[in-house]
């Protein structure tokens, strides 16, 4: 059985944010709070330790009180490079990957992935509509293979998963909680929904 103490939460905040206009998405505000603060709030109850993988505003991220690491490979080679950077400081047998732009992440994400992983090395969330490759519980000992694969030019997340034993764990009916905010329009729409007191993605699940 995988326990909370066996897992380090890895918050992926090192992307270029191209669809957000090139800004650091972690510091985009939603309802008056940066996305990184909301992601930390969702992740903190699930793990004992959080590592933030970022490539900009490092001091600002450090002020959140968690370890901050950067990519070890140049040129923003993708989210798995962020995971590899985090593995430099992860000392637990497992890491839980979470993207910084998912402010309504289910608070039982780790519990469900751990329950569903069985004998596999990777468990990936499926929200009922599609696979969420960056919401994944990954055995930390895969770091050496990940390093070699990235150094050889690998990039697509699921392609690396396919090198290992991985399983899909279903979260049926929770598409709204796995929504991520990629563009200014999506952020503005989310704010309008909240301001209008409409049913938020959390309202039916907490």
Q: Give the confidence band of 74 by pLDDT, cuts at 50, 70, 90.
A: confident
Query: Residue 142 annotated as binding?
Result: no
Asked if the model's pLDDT at residue 24 lies above 90, the reply is: no
Contact 78, 70 (CB under 8 A): no
Give me the DSSP letters along 112-161. HHHHH-TT-SEEEEE-SSSEEEEEEEEEGGGHHHHHHHHHTT---HHHHH
Q: Which residues contact 12 (CB under 8 A, 6 or more apart)?
A: 53, 79, 82, 83, 97, 98, 99, 100, 134
Q: How far apart are CA 98 and CA 83, in angstroms?
A: 10
pTM of the model: 0.88
Q: Give the confidence band of 21 by pLDDT, cuts at 50, 70, 90.
A: low
- Indicate the domain borders of the chain: 4-195
The pLDDT of residue 196: 54
The pLDDT of residue 66: 97
Token pair recorded at residue 97: 């990957």
Query: Residue 5 annotated as binding?
Result: no
pLDDT digits (tens, 9 = 90+) for 110-122: 999 999 999 999 9
Query: Residue 120 annotated as binding?
Result: no
Query: Residue 108 annotated as binding?
Result: no
Residue 76 buriedness (CB in 10 A; 0-12 / 13-18 / 19+): middle
Helix (H, G, I), strand (E, B) or coil at 94: strand
Query: Residue 14 annotated as binding?
Result: yes
The pLDDT of residue 183: 67
Q: Give the confidence band of 140 by pLDDT, cuts at 50, 70, 90.
A: very high
pLDDT digits (tens, 9 = 90+) for 144-201: 999 999 999 998 999 999 999 999 999 999 988 998 877 665 666 666 655 554 444 4
The pLDDT of residue 195: 52
The pLDDT of residue 202: 47
The pLDDT of residue 201: 46
Superfamily of domain 4-195: Spore Coat Polysaccharide Biosynthesis Protein SpsA; Chain A (3.90.550.10)
Query: Residue 144 annotated as binding?
Result: no
The pLDDT of residue 73: 80
The pLDDT of residue 205: 39
Asked if the model's pLDDT at residue 40 lies above 60, the reply is: yes
């Amino acid at each position: 059985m995988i326990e909370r103490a066996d897992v380090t939460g890895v918050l992926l905040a090192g992307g270029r944010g191209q669809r957000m206009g090139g800004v650091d998405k972690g510091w985009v505000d939603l309802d008056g709070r940066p996305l990184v603060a909301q992601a930390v709030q969702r992740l903190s109850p699930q793990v004992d330790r959080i590592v933030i993988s970022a490539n900009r505003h490092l001091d600002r991220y450090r002020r959140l009180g968690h370890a901050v690491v950067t990519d070890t490979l140049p040129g923003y080679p993708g989210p798995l490079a962020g995971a590899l950077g985090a593995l430099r400081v992860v000392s637990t047998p497992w890491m839980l990957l979470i993207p910084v732009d998912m402010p309504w992440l289910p608070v039982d994400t780790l519990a469900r992935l751990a329950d569903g992983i069985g004998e596999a090395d990777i468990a990936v969330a499926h929200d009922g509509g599609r696979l969420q490759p960056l919401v994944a519980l990954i055995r930390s000992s895969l770091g050496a293979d990940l390093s070699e694969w990235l150094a050889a030019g690998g990039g697509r997340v699921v392609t690396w998963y396919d090198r290992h034993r991985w399983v899909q764990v279903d979260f049926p009916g929770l598409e709204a909680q796995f929504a991520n905010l990629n563009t200014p329009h999506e952020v503005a729409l989310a704010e309008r929904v909240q301001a209008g007191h409409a049913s938020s993605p959390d309202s039916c699940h907490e």
